[in-house]
């Protein structure tokens, strides 16, 4: 009786588990005489392979996927130049194409897919005409080459793009002859283009669809800078859209060409813009074991007066709970107006007040100024301005008040693929600031500073990244007591040499007298390795030099640091944690910890 009861229990358990396996479907995929790479392309295109892997897929889903696979697999064959292939897809032994959708089986146990690609076709004719002079069609699109269907489409798009780049905005396909001759396995591809008339840019119309923009139409046109009257160019059209996006006033920008040109040979363009949120706030935090906690935040107002102007207020409190001087304060206001004088030139006005309590000096300053910014290209930009600066300084040289007129200029070349988490590219920024003293205590001179960075990824899936940074600075003209303290150079801390105390390296010009240097050089290197999609390990080494004289002669010293860190990737950028130690006699004895958002450089 006990054995009989146990048998009944096992039987009941098996019956109860049968529904869990009722929808399990075996899928076989064969590609006779095809290389592995070709087979993988077919498998990747198969909807059956994807659907069968889903536990919730029903028999109806699998049948629909099988019937859709005919077209998907034919598309792969045509793209690779096989026009006589045979595709068989059997569902429970029956050809999928012959199964009526309303009579789908309730269960599908087996799907067999077989693809015989047949003979490769070659081009007997490969022509796209007419074409503008010097147009280069895809290299494989030529008589006698494998007749890949994707080459036909690519060659056609290349021809139309070439005509559009020459000003023929309405170029199109006038006629096409594409014939596969199965008897000799050749493909005729003869595409006739109609370039249409050469057109010029007409007016920029502002679409009234949806919510109207708060930015005045005249300002939208000024910012876009559409070159009305100039020969049509897709590049100029995209550049106009880029200017509107770059202004920051719009969440989206869409440019649409008119269906038909005007009788005078111009083509009107319609833009539809959607305003971005008018106000935005943000905050940041960074923690270092010696410098303490730094908190920052900003408030941004877009489209201040209807002309896409921006007003931004920044605040910062640093050195909270730190051991590198006292607390630092900063409050700044900046106003930007795009499209001033030219579509790529912007006007800015700014003012800021700062109080810095650093290890070797205390300084309170006020700076007011303005200038122009200019976008030369997607990678190159620059600024030129003028500012008045008042500084109240207390350091080992005593107490003094300085007044200067500054003429800051900078140029930035940015070819990084992602500013927040760069894996490849180059960044270079050079700043030159001539200054004139406005009283007897303040000297004349010039400060130059350059920051260059290079990134290179390598390994499987670009898992590893080598990042290098070089910083060079020099101040010519005035003596150290005639220059604002924070314009001099110090080394040590998160921005220069990690592992060394913040601004710990200056110039000892006399016993118990330490000031900033007039020359600086810093070099940093990192090896970053992705552990997974979220975590990255980092090893780094930094070194820095501070010199007494502008050319690095006279008194000067080096110091270095190294360590390890980790990055945790988030939607707003990587969260950074670095632990560094100074290199030298006390290596491994002292450690500095840095926590922030974004890569170190």
pLDDT digits (tens, 9 = 90+) for 249-286: 999 999 999 999 999 999 999 999 999 999 999 988 88
Residue with tokens 């406005």: 438
β-bridge partners, 186: 122, 181
Cα 288 to the center of its chain, rounded Å: 28
Distances (CA, A) of 106 to 63, 109, 284: 10, 10, 58
Q: Which residues contact 53 (CB under 8 A, 6 or more apart)?
A: none
Separation of first and last alpha carbons in the chain: 78
Distance CA 480, CA 549 (A): 9
pLDDT in tens, 185-196: 999 999 999 999
For the ranges 3-7, 242-246, 485-489, 501-505, the lowest mean pLDDT is seen at: 3-7
Half-sphere exposure (CA, 13 Å, Cβ side) for 558? 9
- Name the DSSP letter for residue 444: P
Q: β-strands 556-570, 535-547: how paired?
A: antiparallel
370 or 572: which leads in pLDDT: 370
Q: Average pLDDT of the chain?
A: 91
In this predicted model, what pLDDT tens digit does every residue of 408-437 receive, in sequence order? 999 999 999 998 889 999 999 999 999 999
- In the DSSP assignment, the letter for residue 290 is T
Cα torsion angle, 368, 372, 378, 379, sign: negative
Position 3 pLDDT exceeds 60: no
**Does residue 170 have a pLDDT over 70?**
yes
**Token digits of residue 438:** 């406005």
């Amino acid at each position: 009786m006990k054995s009989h009861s146990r048998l009944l229990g096992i039987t009941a358990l098996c019956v109860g588990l049968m529904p869990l396996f009722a929808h399990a479907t075996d899928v076989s995929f064969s590609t006779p005489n095809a290389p592995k790479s070709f087979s993988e392309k077919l498998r990747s295109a198969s909807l059956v392979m994807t659907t069968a892997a889903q536990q919730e897929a029903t028999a109806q889903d699998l049948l629909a996927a099988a019937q859709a696979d005919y077209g998907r697999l034919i598309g792969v064959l045509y793209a690779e130049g096989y026009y006589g292939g045979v595709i068989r897809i059997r569902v429970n032994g029956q050809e999928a194409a012959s199964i009526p959708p309303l009579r789908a089986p309730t269960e599908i146990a087996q799907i067999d897919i077989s693809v015989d690609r047949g003979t490769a076709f070659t081009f007997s004719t490969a022509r796209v005409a007419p074409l503008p002079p010097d147009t280069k069609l895809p290299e494989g699109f030529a008589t006698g080459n494998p007749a890949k269907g994707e080459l036909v489409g690519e060659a056609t798009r290349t021809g139309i793009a070439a005509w559009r780049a020459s000003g023929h905005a309405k170029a199109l396909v006038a006629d096409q002859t594409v014939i596969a001759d199965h008897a000799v396995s050749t493909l005729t591809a003869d595409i006739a283009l109609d370039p249409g008339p050469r057109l010029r840019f007409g007016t920029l119309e502002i679409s009234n669809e949806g919510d109207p923009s708060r930015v005045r139409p005249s300002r939208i046109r000024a910012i876009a800078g559409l070159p009305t009257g100039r020969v049509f160019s897709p590049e100029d059209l995209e550049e106009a859209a880029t200017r509107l996006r770059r202004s920051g006033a719009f969440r989206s920008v869409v440019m649409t060409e008119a269906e038909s040109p005007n009788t005078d040979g111009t083509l009107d363009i319609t833009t539809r813009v959607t305003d971005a949120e008018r106000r935005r706030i943000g905050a940041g935090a960074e923690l270092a074991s010696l410098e303490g906690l730094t908190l920052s935040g900003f408030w941004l107002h877009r489209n201040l007066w209807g002309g896409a102007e921006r007003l931004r207020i920044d605040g910062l409190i640093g050195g909270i709970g730190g051991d590198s001087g006292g607390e630092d304060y900063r409050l700044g206001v900046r106003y930007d107006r795009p499209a001033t004088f030219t579509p790529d030139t912007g006007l800015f006005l700014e003012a800021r007040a700062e109080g810095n309590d650093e290890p070797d000096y205390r300084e309170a300053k006020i700076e007011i100024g303005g200038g122009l910014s200019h976008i030369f290209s997607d990678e190159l930009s620059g600024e030129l301005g003028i500012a008045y600066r008042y500084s109240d300084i207390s350091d080992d040289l005593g107490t003094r008040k300085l007044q200067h007129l500054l003429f800051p200029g900078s140029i930035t070349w940015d070819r990084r693929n992602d500013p927040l988490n760069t894996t490849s590219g180059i960044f270079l920024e050079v700043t030159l600031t001539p200054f004139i003293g406005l009283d007897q205590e303040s000297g004349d001179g010039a400060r130059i500073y350059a920051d260059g960075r290079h990134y290179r990824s390598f390994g499987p899936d670009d898992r590893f990244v080598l990042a290098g940074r070089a910083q060079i600075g020099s101040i010519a003209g005035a003596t150290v007591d005639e220059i604002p303290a924070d314009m001099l150079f110090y080394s040590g801390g998160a921005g220069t040499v990690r592992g060394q105390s913040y601004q710990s390296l200056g110039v000892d010009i006399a016993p118990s007298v330490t000031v900033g240097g007039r020359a600086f050089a810093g070099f940093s290197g990192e090896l970053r390795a992705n552990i997974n999609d979220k975590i990255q390990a980092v090893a780094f080494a930094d070194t820095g030099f501070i010199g007494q004289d502008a050319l690095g002669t006279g008194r000067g010293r080096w110091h270095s640091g190294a360590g390890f860190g980790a990055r945790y990737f988030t939607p707003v950028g990587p969260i950074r944690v670095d632990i560094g130690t100074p290199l030298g006699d006390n290596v491994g004895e002292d450690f500095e910890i840095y926590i922030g958002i974004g890569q170190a450089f």
